[in-house]
């Protein structure tokens, strides 16, 4: 992958560049918001790693908004020391594809970049079809298939599954699901998410050796084919 790193902290930037280079990726570094804004507008990046807080020019959120307003869909992973849930939600809702808090392990950053690359490749192949392993969602017909077998799901279940698939290999919290699938900005305390996840598991994972929907204890859920 050809990655643009927009990061003003030299220690962090060196850590990222070294890890990505050793993994076989090509990197270019911008150390200021001004340089980052200029380079991000180019069209040949496979992914952009973007720090939230930058000196000398626009901050990370401004760069992200500018990209999306220009119609550029380059995958963007935000790095930030701002770890609060509302900050992560704000970043994702502003157009980021992923949000990783500092400090972080380079192995996790690499795994998230690989996930972004897979989603981008799938989107290029067919923007109306989402796939994870042998699970397939057709966004036009609202059909779900697993291993070639049609699965009947309710509209809400489809929205929940679509949300999980679009965030594959990422932990999604109950709050994120309430806001992204149910349009709630509060927790109704009814266990509605746990009930729907349980029903979806029965339809998606039952009788399959590979389980796709995973519980991350105390945090939320993740859809992944990597166990």
Cα–Cα dist 199/179, whole Å: 20
* Run of H or E including 50: strand 47-51
Helix axes 33-40, 60-69, angle to 10 degrees: 20
Domain count, the chain: 2
Handedness of CA 206, 211, 212, 217 (dihedral sign): positive
CATH number at residue 206: 1.10.10.10
CATH number at residue 22: 3.40.50.2300
pLDDT of residue 190: 61
CA distances for 68 relative to 51, 62, 74, 97, angstroms: 16, 10, 9, 11
Q: pTM for the full model?
A: 0.57
pLDDT of residue 43: 67
Helix axes 106-125, 10-22, angle to 10 degrees: 60
Residue 207, burial from CB neighbour count under 10 angstroms (0-12, 13-18, 19+): exposed
Nearest to 15 by CA among 107, 91, 81: 107
Structural domain range at position 41:
2-119
Handedness of CA 46, 49, 52, 54 (dihedral sign): negative
Q: pLDDT band for 28, please (50, 70, 90 cuts).
A: very high
**114-122 long-range contacts, Cβ below 8 Å, gap at least 24?**
115/168, 115/169, 115/170, 116/47, 116/75, 116/77, 117/1, 117/46, 117/47, 117/75, 118/168, 119/75, 119/166, 119/168, 120/46, 120/47, 120/75
Q: Are residues 148 and 51 located together in one domain of the fold? A: no
Q: Are residues 68 and 13 located together in one domain of the fold? A: yes
Task: Decide which of 119, 138, 162 is a domain's last residue.
Answer: 119
Q: Are residues 160 and 69 located together in one domain of the fold? A: no
Task: Decide which of 89, 119, 149 is a domain's last residue.
Answer: 119
What would the pLDDT profile of 31-62 be if each residue is shown by its tens digit? 999 999 999 988 678 999 999 988 878 999 99
Other beta carbons within 10 angstroms of residue 72's beta carbon come to 16
Q: Are residues 162 and 218 located together in one domain of the fold? A: yes
Q: Are residues 84 and 132 located together in one domain of the fold? A: no
Q: Are residues 78 and 101 located together in one domain of the fold? A: yes
Secondary structure tally for the chain: helices H, strands E = 8, 12
What would the pLDDT profile of 148-162 be if each residue is shown by its tens digit? 999 999 999 999 999
What would the pLDDT profile of 89-134 be if each residue is shown by its tens digit? 888 888 899 999 999 999 999 999 988 887 776 655 556 888 899 9
Q: Are residues 75 and 145 located together in one domain of the fold? A: no
What would the pLDDT profile of 210-227 be if each residue is shown by its tens digit? 999 999 988 899 999 876
Task: Decide which of 60, 91, 119 is a domain's last residue.
Answer: 119
Q: Say if strands 26-30 and 98-101 run parallel, antiparallel, or are unpaired.
A: unpaired
Three-point CA angle 168, 188, 137, nearest 5°: 25
Residues counted in the chain: 227
Q: Are residues 113 and 147 located together in one domain of the fold? A: no
Given a contact cutoff of 8 angstroms between Cβ atoms, the answer to whether 44 and 68 are in contact is no
Q: Are residues 169 and 192 located together in one domain of the fold? A: yes
Q: Are residues 13 and 112 located together in one domain of the fold? A: yes
pLDDT of residue 117: 82
Q: Are residues 63 and 81 located together in one domain of the fold? A: yes
């Amino acid at each position: 992958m050809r990655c643009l790193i927009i990061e003003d902290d030299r220690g962090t930037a060196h850590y990222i560049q070294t890890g990505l280079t050793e993994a076989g990726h090509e990197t270019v570094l911008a150390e200021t918001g001004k340089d980052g804004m200029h380079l991000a507008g180019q069209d040949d990046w496979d992914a952009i790693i973007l720090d939230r807080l930058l000196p000398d020019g626009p901050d990370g959120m401004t760069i992200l908004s500018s990209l999306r307003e220009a119609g550029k869909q380059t995958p963007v992973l935000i790095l930030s020391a701002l770890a609060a849930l509302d900050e992560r939600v704000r970043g994702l809702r502003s157009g980021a594809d992923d949000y990783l808090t500092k400090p972080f392990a380079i192995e996790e950053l690499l795994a998230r970049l690989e996930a972004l690359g897979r989603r981008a490749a799938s989107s290029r192949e067919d923007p109306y079809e989402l796939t994870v392993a042998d699970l397939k969602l057709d966004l036009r017909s609202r059909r779900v298939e697993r291993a070639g077998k049609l699965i009947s799901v309710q509209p809400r279940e489809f929205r929940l599954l679509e949300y999980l698939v679009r965030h594959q290999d990422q932990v999604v919290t109950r709050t994120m699901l309430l806001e992204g699938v149910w349009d709630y900005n509060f927790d109704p305390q009814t266990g509605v998410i746990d009930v729907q996840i349980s029903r979806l598991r029965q339809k998606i994972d039952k009788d399959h050796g590979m389980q796709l929907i995973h519980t991350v204890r105390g945090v939320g859920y993740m859809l992944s084919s990597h166990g």
